Amino acid sequence: MAQLERTHLAIVRAVDQHGSLTAAAEQLHLTQSALSHAIRKLEDQLGVAIWTREGRRLRPTQAGAYLLSVANRLIPQLTHAEARLRQFAQGERGTLRIGIECHPCYAWLLKVVSPYLANWPDVDVDVKQEFQFSGIGALFGHEIDLLVTPDPLFRTGLQFEAVLDYEQVLVVGPRHRLAGTPCVQPDQLAQETLISYPVPIDRLDIYTQFLLPAGIRPKRHKPIETTDIMLQMVASGRGVAALPRWLANEYAERLGVTAIRLGERGIDKQIFLGIRQAEAGIDYLHAFVELARAHRNHGG
């Protein structure tokens, strides 16, 4: 009997965003009265209050809060579906929404995206770095269509494939005492300043796979947003950083930084591409994975 419609979701959402029915009405190009009527009717039909009216304020009830969470989850999906359908109309293939879960992933992506865009002029590319939850959650939740990550997940309706093998190395400046050493041991970093991207320590391989097992912590730890600045700091002797070897090499000549193996065996890493299994057949998605795979064989 009662039907939860898109309008209801939109109203609840708008009220949450704007704080009042009146303001929400404006955004939705409706009158305050319309919203009031609409929600009133829904409340009657479901037999549950969405908001408690406290003075002239609307405070969501438990049911209201739940409805809001549903709205925040579903409305974006509806919106995206519409957009996608319109793209079909214009002969565009669609938008490839790529999610990134690590900084080196981004650097790698830049190399692959440009040839892809050239091959697929009717596909747009969107890159997102922030998700409601994790990248995998974003894949499941249809926030993104493709995930670039160091942490794959098999056997789940998703499909992962490695597209880049690389070595994580220590990068030091030209006059650093360790420059020229073939490899470095954890305790040699005890007096160093470690520069890294601003992510939790348990996401930094140099900690989880190198320093922490040896019980070592660097003297100081400094987070920096961008690779460029990070390496300028390293070049000027203000600290050391851990980066993929291929990324370090790109800066080696220009800045005079050098790469040093972490431990005797080095730290090996991979970057994976993940998609929803059900969509493995979509041509422009498949093509991206193919292109990435080709890149791998050339040696990125």
Partner DNA sequence: CTAACTCATGAATTCAATGCATGTTTTGAT
Partner DNA sequence: ATCAAAACATGCATTGAATTCATGAGTTAG
Span 11-50, contacts to DNA by CB under 7 A: 20-23, 25, 29-34, 36-41
Residue 55: name its binding partner from its own copies, DNA, none (Cβ under 5 to 8 Å by kind): DNA
40 near its own copies (CB under 8 A): no
Residue 62 Cβ vs DNA, minimum distance, rounded to whole Å: 17
Residue 81: name its binding partner from DNA, its own copies, none (Cβ under 5 to 8 Å by kind): its own copies
Structure tokens at 97: 């929404």
- Which residue from 20, 36, 134, 232 is in contact with its own copies, where contact means CB under 8 A? 134
Pairing of strands 183-184, 258-262: parallel
Give the integer Cα–Cα distance in Å for 101 and 111.
Answer: 16
- Reported as type and span, the H/E element at residue 163 is strand 158-172
- The conformation of residue 176, written as its DSSP 8-state character, comes to -
Pairing of strands 158-172, 267-276: antiparallel
72 near DNA (CB under 7 A): no
- Which residue from 26, 28, 36, 66 is in contact with its own copies, where contact means CB under 8 A? 66
**How many angstroms separate the Cα of 148 from the Cα of each of 3, 253, 275?**
39, 28, 9
- Which residue from 67, 146, 260, 273 is in contact with its own copies, where contact means CB under 8 A? 67
Residue 46 Cβ vs DNA, minimum distance, rounded to whole Å: 13
- Which residue from 29, 47, 198, 264 is in contact with its own copies, where contact means CB under 8 A? 47
136 near its own copies (CB under 8 A): yes
53 near DNA (CB under 7 A): yes
Give the three-state DSSP class for 260: strand
Which of these, 101, 93, 91, 97, lies nearest to 76 by C-alpha position? 97
Give the integer Cα–Cα distance in Å for 283 and 280.
Answer: 8
Give the integer Cα–Cα distance in Å for 282 and 245.
Answer: 33
Asked if 96 and 234 touch (Cβ cutoff 8 Å), the reply is: no
Binding footprint of DNA on the chain (CB under 7 A): 5, 7, 20-23, 25, 29-34, 36-41, 53-58
Binding footprint of its own copies on the chain (CB under 8 A): 2-6, 46-48, 61-63, 66-67, 69-70, 73-74, 77-78, 81-82, 84-86, 88-90, 132-134, 136-137, 140-142, 151, 153, 155-158, 277-278
